[in-house]
Structure 1
């Protein structure tokens, strides 16, 4: 079969409209982060102005990336998102390493993290039976959630899009309700919005803000998702830029308002004390609702966060597989991964492969948490004992946290940089949308990315180097796949 025939056979239909595109952004980003991360931010930045600044900077940083990526999505409306842009700008190897890392840890790790957060709140609503370990019960719920969203998106992209719209409406409505609740019930105090400023400005304060930024970026993570679906979005030159910019503006407003609402109701030390909780009913959102509504409020927020993380998980199942699909279509992944289901017209094999690996990460993470860490006399290398001990004390939803953010930030930075490369390499290529504020917008993103990655290498060197190792392991894999022959790359599907 010729490459042209193969590409025509694997073309995906355009079934997503502007509302679905917007909900992919908003619904994918709002997961468990805004319900959990504010406690970690309060611990690292113990003053209100610094907390607000971290959320604003994180939001503007993500918005700058989204406005830049919108140019690429409108210019090259093909399935695969960052993989497509990296290949067009830098060649096949960097693009493959992105897809490799996306599959092994970034996308599947995000899914495992979201599924674990879903399970945390599910376990509060439906406690584990007396003879079942709580972590095993939660792992079972996480696996069931991944299976559910995988099945939904195999059955149809339009079905996955409709689920995303309904879930986004639910979670945005829920957030707005939480924001106005203290105003309606009179449960907040302006006295809680203290200290307003730090006692001194020093390197320690900057270090705390950088540490907090990792969590904030995780809460904003997912803004790149829509571009993976560019081949399936109707009128991508118009709808992709509008959805990215409007979606990020909506998220920044909601996150800021929700964070201030938390601090309006709860004293800052009370929020900071919840930074390392392992139970969903003890997270900052749960305490917030308990102070306002009592035990019924805790049950309500558990249900809302459970639904929120499920919809965010669905967004990942909807968008992530397009990168592996595109790789296979270009000859850089097993060809069966780019198979389109004859009835449902979805990249079913790519969706199922992603779901399977995300489940395996969930199971492995659970084992590392449940199984007692080996002692120093076990015969294992000290590094492995140390890592296992650390993981044994880590909530499942935070297990892959740093790995996901470090790898995602690295490839997001390369993708944003490809705007400069492609404007020089292909200046005559049609650009329905040009990045607002160019070249300052992408430069802002790139400088912030370098600063953040440097801080992560300093503060979490083991996790960051492990993330780099996963990327490097893609080199021999690329050699194996590239031996299958050269592939054709075009700009329009």
Structure 2
């Protein structure tokens, strides 16, 4: 077969891997989620603290993953790490959840965000415009646009890693430059009265509920913890997918070195940009303006202050480019995980094959179908809640896996070791578990469904183990 002759082609350089990490992280979140954070925490100090905490967690887990990527420099990323650190069941449950919720629902959420901001230029594509009615079920124009974008990017990626690489690197550089330009212009347009109101000593560390209509409500001590956790949902979503380069490790040149470096460089770059963007927001918008932004589009409101009426067009184009590039990275990386699962006999046999361009074409199209279904499923915020908790659960398991592997497999070569081990990885574990517990308590509606979908992977694993060999691979490379 074709994949047996060629396998994955290592054609991604360090800059390509870094742009994949940064590009997959920067999607629509930084332009939207600060509105929800503002409503949950009220004070500008808490807004920045949530982004700082999330940035610290992201950097810690990314730098820790460098050790795992150096030990297992092959396609599959976190699926491979969990399988090696624990057993095939744990690896499969992650892969199952990645396929059913984490990656596919993220692709859908980013695709819908692309359509929502495109509607500023083409109003007929707005999420409030009903395109199809099937009985009591309606499909908006935005949902259809999301599906079209996902299909187009899937086609691009089936034509070879070079096609996806060119799109990813070019678009990521463009959106980084445009984001930095927005920050610079925003800082020049900073309003002294707005800055003073947001950062006044009496207001900056107030923690309270700030409703979109301007009304406020105080929290009890325990509810305040829940508010911080709820505020972190959007920040975690915006900082997620930093691990994209680990999924395509088999296509990266010198993966033992470059995967870990790409994780470090990409996450540091994005974390700094996110912090600067939120500092800029607090210089041009009051917390009340952020909390009440129409459909949470904080960047649109900020751009109108900075650039005037043309600001809407500027930001709409920026977010279109940003979300398009983000989804390209997500689509490229996700398919490699399902491919690796299939090669281990944990997925449909066809998913473990490469097409004539040496990419997992079947995996790409299967991912496309599930992501398209998620596009039709619900609201952006609902998807964030469902994704965030399961993402953090598996990150925590992977970090615990570093401790396990140090004891059970000490002789494996480790070109790079987890930064700050054991203190920083242990601190991440504590923070991650705390976040998950608070989410289950204070936002159960969409956190429990994500956990239940993950748990369903356990019986599915045992069903697949009983399948005839004709349906799944049994080992192989």
Does TM-score exceed 0.5, indicating one fold?
yes
2:85 maps to 1:66? no
Structure 1 residues 208-247: aligned runs within 5 Å: 208-247=227-266
Pairs aligned (count): 451
Structure 1 residues 116-155: aligned runs within 5 Å: 116-128=112-124, 133=130, 136-155=140-159
2:37 maps to 1:41? yes
Displacement of 1:11 = 2.9
Relative to structure 1, the CA distance from residue 143 to residue 310 in structure 2 (aligned partners, 3 Å threshold; closer, same or farther) is same
2:360 to 347, 360, 364: 347
Tell me the alpha carbon deviations over residues 202-247 of structure 1, each in whole angstroms, 9 at most, x when there is no partner. 4444332221111111111111221111111111111111111111
Displacement of 1:398 = 2.2
Partners of 1:129 and 1:232 lie apart in 2 by 37
Q: Which residue of 2 aligns with 1:296?
A: 310
2:86 maps to 1:78? no
Relative to structure 1, the CA distance from residue 11 to residue 440 in structure 2 (aligned partners, 3 Å threshold; closer, same or farther) is farther
Displacement of 1:441 = 2.0
Relative to structure 1, the CA distance from residue 459 to residue 242 in structure 2 (aligned partners, 3 Å threshold; closer, same or farther) is same
Q: Is the 8 A contact 1:78 1:229 kept in 2?
A: yes
Displacement of 1:475 = 2.5
Partners of 1:182 and 1:321 lie apart in 2 by 38
The worse-fitting range, judged by mean Cα deviation, of 178-187 and 56-65 is: 178-187
Partners of 2:79 and 2:167 lie apart in 1 by 26
TM-score (structure 1 length as normaliser): 0.87
Q: Secondary structure at the match of 2:120?
A: helix
Q: Is the 8 A contact 1:73 1:237 kept in 2?
A: yes
Partners of 1:136 and 1:54 lie apart in 2 by 33
Displacement of 1:183 = 3.7
Displacement of 1:187 = 5.0
Displacement of 1:142 = 0.5
Q: Which residue of 2 aligns with 1:108?
A: 104
Structure 2's unaligned 5+ residue stretches are: 132-138, 209-218
Q: Is the 8 A contact 2:382 2:446 kept in 1?
A: no
Structure 1 residues 307-456: aligned runs within 5 Å: 307-342=321-356, 344-365=357-378, 396-456=379-439
Tell me the alpha carbon deviations over residues 121-140 of structure 1, each in whole angstroms, 9 at most, x when there is no partner. 11121111899527621111
Partners of 2:192 and 2:353 lie apart in 1 by 55
Q: Which residue of 2 aligns with 1:373?
A: none
Q: Secondary structure at the match of 1:320?
A: helix
TM-score (structure 2 length as normaliser): 0.90
Tell me the alpha carbon deviations over residues 259-309 of structure 1, each in whole angstroms, 9 at most, x when there is no partner. 0101100111111123xx43xxx6110000111212211111011011101
2:262 maps to 1:258? no
Partners of 1:163 and 1:210 lie apart in 2 by 35
Q: Which residue of 1 aligns with 2:450?
A: 467
Partners of 1:31 and 1:306 lie apart in 2 by 9
Q: Which residue of 1 aligns with 2:134?
A: none
2:292 to 273, 293, 298: 273
Relative to structure 1, the CA distance from residue 269 to residue 304 in structure 2 (aligned partners, 3 Å threshold; closer, same or farther) is same
Partners of 1:308 and 1:421 lie apart in 2 by 38
Partners of 1:255 and 1:132 lie apart in 2 by 32
RMSD: 2.3
Q: Secondary structure at the match of 2:119?
A: helix
Structure 1's unaligned 5+ residue stretches are: 366-395
Q: Which residue of 2 aligns with 1:382?
A: none
Partners of 1:21 and 1:402 lie apart in 2 by 28
Partners of 1:250 and 1:188 lie apart in 2 by 28
Tell me the alpha carbon deviations over residues 171-204 of structure 1, each in whole angstroms, 9 at most, x when there is no partner. 1111111111134445564324332222799444
Q: Is the 8 A contact 1:192 1:266 kept in 2?
A: no
2:28 maps to 1:14? no
Relative to structure 1, the CA distance from residue 172 to residue 136 in structure 2 (aligned partners, 3 Å threshold; closer, same or farther) is same
Partners of 2:252 and 2:361 lie apart in 1 by 18
Q: Is the 8 A contact 2:399 2:429 kept in 1?
A: yes
Q: Is the 8 A contact 1:118 1:306 kept in 2?
A: yes
Partners of 2:291 and 2:140 lie apart in 1 by 28
The worse-fitting range, judged by mean Cα deviation, of 296-305 and 437-446 is: 437-446
Partners of 1:414 and 1:7 lie apart in 2 by 32
Q: Is the 8 A contact 2:42 2:207 kept in 1?
A: no
